[in-house]
Structure 1
């Protein structure tokens, strides 16, 4: 386990767990925490032994309350810069990370906090969590990927959240398809890690193909079809494809090589 003042990173086999650790500030995003999240993304992408990244928060008050307004008022620029870590965290919010991401919403995810979760492929939520994009209440609008919410939930429901700035509870978030599961508050991280481990047990090439194509088909169907053909050639001719078939016949767990 590695620990900094603002982000705790723990390796659990093939799963990397990154925990936002500013509970007194509701885990809000200042520039250093933003970069630390990006560093965790880069670690997960660069280490072949890591297959999935889980993102969660410390405490029971917030997963992340969005941008640290005190830091912003003091002139700090959050998410601005071309250093690798800042770029990587911005990629996370854009859903452009090579490994699967599981969000573990231990409590409220508001503004930029919800935008972090929207960059995740799957979301597990505490029954006490709340979600929203309240920027319009402050004369602003979601400057990250919040306005891309219609990629996650039906347009009318997305617009209701975006235009009113109101928060919804975890049960409503599940009903509209924003989150994948709602669990007891103390079980959020365990459920998210279990989900991550199930993903990590699968063939890494197949997982990478599914993640890229499923995301892409929502915004560019022609490009998705092109990438589908690319991945078909790559995956079906891979060593892992042969290993998967052998393991099935021999009734054993496959040993993946990622090639």
Structure 2
């Protein structure tokens, strides 16, 4: 039986690959459970500094597995699917390591949610994005949570209300993705970005990622108060002292992650 989630580690980067190509990598219960479990393991692995989520086949992710969902049409089953999906997306946000989505083909509905939940996203110039639930009578309400936090309200509402496909370049313009590259260059572009971030102090990156999302939920005064406390805690870390001393001495820093 083929594994529905593959993992390959490369120089402090864990590359997780969705591997249901025949189903366009739809997020079945099994795939969501596998991805959630693997991220939980990676969270405690000091050897991994960055995570990449990629996919095999013609699409990045076509959303939830609608055939699986309709095969079990009870409230309890529906609640299980969306609770698991919500837990997975929050796992990505709370993971103390940056997550990069590597997108090719289409990323629709919960697949678009996966992209929006990642910290960074790099897409092939042929990639397309949509939240088309409205077209089948099922508004993309859970994808909306991630989408509305990644892009402006008008752009999010346009995607949610029309269900239209959005090009990679348009997605970059309104902030859903960071970079657009030729499809043939996608693997190298993502790995280069991942390795650049993986070379930073893992402690500093973890502190910064957590602080970014927490302060975004606060009002301005509370955000500054919280961020000041975070910077003080960060300044007391060995890596901060090492980084500043290395900068002043004009030498490369040696990170310890402490």
TM-score normalised by length of structure 2: 0.89
> 1:190 is matched with which residue: 171, 188, 192?
188
2:10 aligned with 1:12, yes or no? yes
Q: Which residue of 2 aligns with 1:246?
A: 245
Does the 8 A contact of 2:86 with 2:142 survive in 1?
A: no
Q: Which residue of 1 aligns with 2:106?
A: 108
Compared CA separation, residues 135 and 115, structure 1 to 2 (3 A):
same
Q: Which residue of 1 aligns with 2:68?
A: 71
Q: Structure 1 regions of 5+ residues with no counterpart?
A: none
SS state of the match for residue 101, structure 2? Answer: strand
2:134 aligned with 1:144, yes or no? no
- The alpha-carbon deviation at position 223 of structure 1 amounts to 5.0
Compared CA separation, residues 157 and 88, structure 1 to 2 (3 A):
closer
Does the 8 A contact of 2:105 with 2:127 survive in 1?
A: yes
Compared CA separation, residues 171 and 225, structure 1 to 2 (3 A):
same
Alignment partners' CA distance in 2, 1:239 and 1:188: 36
Alignment partners' CA distance in 2, 1:189 and 1:57: 11
Compared CA separation, residues 135 and 99, structure 1 to 2 (3 A):
same
Alignment partners' CA distance in 2, 1:191 and 1:88: 29
Compared CA separation, residues 157 and 193, structure 1 to 2 (3 A):
same
> 2:155 is matched with which residue: 157, 170, 181?
157
SS state of the match for residue 220, structure 1? Answer: coil
Q: Which residue of 2 aligns with 1:35?
A: 33
Which structure features the higher share of helix residues? 2
Compared CA separation, residues 79 and 196, structure 1 to 2 (3 A):
farther
* Deviating more after overlay: 246-255 vs 125-134: 246-255
- The alpha-carbon deviation at position 224 of structure 1 amounts to 3.4
SS state of the match for residue 179, structure 1? Answer: coil
SS state of the match for residue 60, structure 2? Answer: strand
Would you say how many aligned residue pairs link Structure 1 and Structure 2? 254
Alignment partners' CA distance in 2, 1:223 and 1:189: 40
Q: Which residue of 2 aligns with 1:219?
A: 217
Q: Which residue of 1 aligns with 2:22?
A: 24
- The alpha-carbon deviation at position 104 of structure 1 amounts to 0.4
Alignment partners' CA distance in 1, 2:243 and 2:2: 40
Q: Structure 2 regions of 5+ residues with no counterpart?
A: none
Alignment partners' CA distance in 2, 1:235 and 1:135: 43
Does the 8 A contact of 1:39 with 1:88 survive in 2?
A: no
- The alpha-carbon deviation at position 148 of structure 1 amounts to 4.1
**Root-mean-square deviation (CA), in Å?**
2.5
Q: Which residue of 2 aligns with 1:174?
A: 172
